[in-house]
Chain A
Amino acid sequence: MTVEVRLERVSKSFGGVRVLRDVDFDVRAGEVHALLGENGAGKSTLIKIIAGVHAPDTGLIHIGDQQFRALSPREARKGGIATVYQELLLFPELTVTENIFLGNAPRGRLNMLDWQQMRRRARQLLDSLDSPDLDVDAKVGSLSVANRQRVEIAKALSQDARVVIMDEPTAALADADVERLMAVIKRLRERGVAIIYVSHKLPEIFALADRVTVLRDGALIGTRPIAEVTEQTLVAMMVGREIDHMFPKAEAAIGETILKVRNLSYGQRVKDISFDLRRGEIVGVAGLVGAGRTELALTIFGITPADSGTIEVDGKPVRILSPRQARNLGIAYVPEDRGLQGLVRPMTIAQNTSMAALRHVASGIFISLTREARQAVEAIASLGVRARGPDQVVAQLSGGNQQKVVLGKWLETHPLILIMDEPTRGIDVGAKAEIHALMSRLAKEGMAILMISSELPEVLGMSDRILVMHGGRLAATIDRADATPETVGAAMTQAGAAGVAA
């Protein structure tokens, strides 16, 4: 098999932080090469270097027999490389045909667009992807995610791509669509297309890949034929240590119930949820994407107030209609997306830290900047934020440190209840362990923590109890003692068929 693309000792840093170190990687015609690694391992950077989005600091890129120090997106496309990104880059107001041929439309007489040929070829491409049901004249905005993805793949094929990069293509797909996508990928492979497949879903990788490459902290851990690895070896390569040691939930005295949720509902995403949360307890919320976990958090925190159901905080029934009310009741929410709901990026660490509890650093109506800075210095020290000082702008911090600042902001409100949504997504392994240790410490000090996480090892390691959501409902409540990847996984995928009903 011919090697289509090869990276040779490629390194890349952003703002002084190494994200890739001397990585070798190649993909051959007619193979699916899976790229595996934890969030922040460097997968995205690697594929963006191949796609011409980022230029490597050192190293070489070989395409066929050509050699590059860096690629422009144009050169990558001319080299036959196409990317299907996680966030699909299509134009919702244009039709399927228009999207497929945008930028490389066939021309007819007088250099005018040849619409008939375009529509015919779009039809052929989609048929070859097992999608005869997809209308070439439909607006892309009206299509489902799965169909949009097929349009994106068809677009790649229309450019005669020899290498197709797929970044977490199944992240937002339902099971049936995943199977259809897998069939499409196998078909592409039979045609001799080289596929780089980024995913952290191991079953898919075993079903599809010919070879797998694991990255960790920007370094190449290894490239193996799929037949030579098992799930265990892959997990060990990814995390670099035993899972048991990664998620230390320290023993904490479980106290009285502090949050009591009964029959809580909001729209279609939160249906009839009931659970208790006690002091010193970490309750994990597991579920697939779209199971309604974040929506549950937003409802409790008052961003999307509940349609029905009751909430009691510390024994008192409350109606939470705004985040302000939730905050005043002692509820804190560290959001899934730090950039969106967590940080004010142009502000300094000190200003972000004090934002939710300004009165703690104010005398009368005026903020004491000295007290605010002192508070930030304490937070920086106790949370281990790596920063120049309290007056550094948070936009300049790395993901893990930004997360610590968001956490620090909410700890300044002295909450009774801390909701953490994907607390370690997109941050490095070291910072992850630090955040887990912090959560343990907070629980030990009597805080009640509700932790939403998509990483099963994290849920299993940190939680005293696990709530499993499916389709907006509570599918199961599983105690720490009964929680295994199998029981939780089963409850995540088949509502009501496993676990102990709530």
Chain B
Amino acid sequence: MSVEAAPAFRPRRSGLTRFVSAYGQEIVIACAILILFAVVSLINPRFLGANNLNTIISGNAYIAVAAIGMSMIIITGNIDVSVGALIGVLATISGTLAVAGYPVWVAWGAPILAGAAINAVVGALVAYGKIPSIVVTLGMLSILRGGLVSITGGAWISNLPPDFLLAQQRLLGVPAPVWFMVICTVIAFLWMRYSAFGRSLYAIGGNSEAARAAGIPIERRIVEVFAIHGAIAGVATILFATQLQIIQSTVPPNLELTIITASVIGGVSILGGTGTVIGSTLAAILFSAIGAGLIFVNVSAYWLRAVIGLLILITVLIDMLRRNRETRQASR
């Protein structure tokens, strides 16, 4: 409707304002982590010890890594509820190879390749079979979980060779999983922000019809992003499976939900099209910090899930409110 008397260009907002509006969620989580650390360490100063910090972050680094791939999937408007089961399967493959005496690089490389291959199939079913990703991955969840228990009989893998245990190694005093988490997050963030590939994922999640019309090969991208997510899950597997001397044939309960939650709390909209992998990594760190913090202030760790659940609801609510406001501003 006509009468927009506004000039063609309103004064540009400052760089800081734009930064805050573009990375609002990431900033909020970073602040939440800092506040949490401050509060808990006031109550119990031992919380801030370097060793403790390393343990807190290192133990959950594999969740942060897996959440990177999950964020990419959710950004395209899809979801993967089978990643927890996938990590369990890949861990068994990796451990079996290591115990069988294959070189460690084989034992480390196999889960990455296998993850990519398995999820490429998932992606193909979603993209070319036109089956909603939640259905495909629900099926995959049962197949992987059931198959794993049937084949291993629930037995644990032990006697892992010491040089296989990547997660126990350190570089410059920092545990390897933390290095992996930081490096993967930075690379993925830059890749998502600056590559045509990353941009096309946002476009597909934002409006797949418009993306198709603009010449983006949607089906191929979906298969590719699922394969990448599988490979990243492979990396997460290595960090998870090499923490202890044994590999159990089960993964932590609700692992896939924890990973999805990290993405969502990190600001990746469950409806697709927005969010960054930095947010999901920060959210994974926040989970660890809450979990450890609760212990240090003598609150039952069972509260962790409740607190995280609350965070999910708040985050999604804020996302919805923001979207509604944007649509209202545009509609007339």
| Contact, CB under 8 Å: A428 / B206 | no
- Asked if B16 is an interface residue, CB under 8 A from chain A, the answer is no
- A218-B1, A344-B273 are known contacts. Are A395 and B329 too (CB-CB below 8 A)? yes
Chain A interface mostly helix, strand, loop or mixed? mixed
B126 to chain A, nearest CB (A): 19
- A323-B212, A340-B209, A391-B18 are contacts. A15–B217 as well, Cβ < 8 Å? no
In the complex, A180 Cα to B174 Cα: how many Å? Answer: 80
B171 within 8 Å of A (CB atoms): no
Interface-centre pick from B194, B199, B274 (highest chain A CB count, 10 A): B199
Q: A358 near B2 (CB under 8 angstroms)?
A: no
B207 sits at the interface (CB 8 A):
yes
Q: Does B298 contact A (CB under 8 A)?
A: no
Q: Which of A105-113, A124-132, A244-252, A382-390 contacts B (4 or more CB under 8 A)?
A: A382-390
Count residues on chain A whose CB falls below 8 Å from chain B CBs: 61
CA distance A409 to B207 in the complex (A): 15
B330-A19 in contact (CB<8A): no
Instruction: Answer yes or no: B203 CB below 8 A from chain A CBs.
Output: yes
User: What 1/0 flags go to B199-241 for Cβ under 8 Å of A?
Assistant: 1001100110111111111000000000000000000000000
| Choice from B202, B214, B331 contacting A327 with Cβ under 8 Å | B214
Alpha-carbon separation in the docked complex, A218 to B1 (Å): 7
Contact B2 A395 (CB under 8 A): no
Q: Which residue of A lies closest to B22 (CB)?
A: A391
Q: Is the pair A428, B1 in contact by a Cβ cutoff of 8 Å? A: yes
From B4-12, B40-48, B132-140, B147-155, give the one contacting chain A: B4-12
Q: Does B327 contact A (CB under 8 A)?
A: yes
How many residue pairs link A and B with beta carbons under 8 A? The number is: 147
Contacts of B212 in A (CB 8 A): 303, 323, 341
A381 to B203, CA, bound (A): 24
> In chain B, residues 2-52, which have Cβ atoms closer than 8 Å to a Cβ of chain A?
2-4, 6, 8-10, 12-13, 18, 22
A174 located at the interface, meaning its Cβ lies under 8 Å from any Cβ of chain B in the complex:
no
Select which of A345, A399, A429, A430 is within 8 A of B332 by beta carbon.
A399
Q: Which residues of B contact A369 (CB under 8 A)?
A: 193-194
> Which residues of A in the span 372-417 have a Cβ within 8 Å of any Cβ on B?
380-381, 384-389, 391, 393, 395-399, 402, 409
A18, B329: Cα distance in complex, Å: 12
Specify which of A14, A341, A355 is in contact with B329 (CB 8 Å cutoff).
Answer: A14
Residue of B nearest to A428 (CB): B2
Contact B203 A17 (CB under 8 A): no
Cβ-defined contact, B206 with A388, below 8 A? no
**Closest CB in chain A relative to B222 CB, distance in Å:** 15
On chain B, which size bracket covers the interface? 35 or more
CB distance from B215 to the nearest CB of A (A): 4
CB neighbours of B8 from chain A (8 A): 380-381, 384-386
A389 and B12 within 8 A (CB): yes
Which residues of B in the span 317-332 have a Cβ within 8 Å of any Cβ on A?
Answer: 326-332
Q: How far is the CA of A452 from the CA of B204 in the complex (A)?
A: 27
Task: Tell me the minimal C-beta distance from B323 to chain A in angstroms.
Answer: 8
Per the bound structure, the CA–CA distance linking A324 and B220 in Å amounts to 13
Nearest Cβ on chain A to B198's Cβ, whole angstroms: 9
Q: Does B329 contact A396, Cβ atoms closer than 8 Å?
A: yes
* Cα distance, A409 to B215, chains bound together (Å): 12
A399 to chain B, nearest CB (A): 7
Query: Knowing A347-B273, A395-B327 touch, does A355 contact B203 (C-beta < 8 A)?
Result: yes
In the bound complex, do residue B4 and residue A17 qualify as a contact, i.e. CB atoms below 8 Å apart? yes
Is A351 part of the contact surface with B, judged by Cβ < 8 Å? Answer: yes
The reply to whether the CB of A45 lies closer than 8 angstroms to some CB of chain B is yes
Is residue A461 within 8 Å, beta carbon to beta carbon, of the partner chain? no
Indicate with 1 or 0, residue by residue over B241-280, a CB within 8 angstroms of chain A CB atoms: 0000000000000000000000000000100011000000
Does chain A have a CB within 8 A of B196?
yes
Among A322, A339, A395, chain B packs the most CB atoms within 10 A around the CB of: A395
A324 to B217, Cβ gap below 8 A?
A: yes
Q: Which residue of A lies closest to B196 (CB)?
A: A358
Q: Which residues of B contact A (CB under 8 A)?
A: 1-4, 6, 8-10, 12-13, 18, 22, 193-197, 199, 202-203, 206-207, 209-217, 269, 273-274, 326-332
A sample of 26 inter-chain contacts (CB < 8 A) reads: A14-B331, A15-B332, A17-B1, A17-B332, A217-B1, A217-B2, A217-B3, A303-B212, A322-B217, A339-B207, A341-B209, A344-B206, A344-B207, A344-B210, A344-B273, A347-B202, A347-B203, A367-B195, A386-B8, A388-B9, A389-B10, A395-B327, A398-B330, A409-B214, A428-B2, A430-B2
A residues in contact (CB < 8 Å) with B:
14-15, 17-19, 40-42, 45, 217-218, 301, 303, 322-324, 326-328, 333, 335, 339-347, 351, 355-356, 358-359, 362, 365-367, 369, 380-381, 384-389, 391, 393, 395-399, 402, 409, 428-431
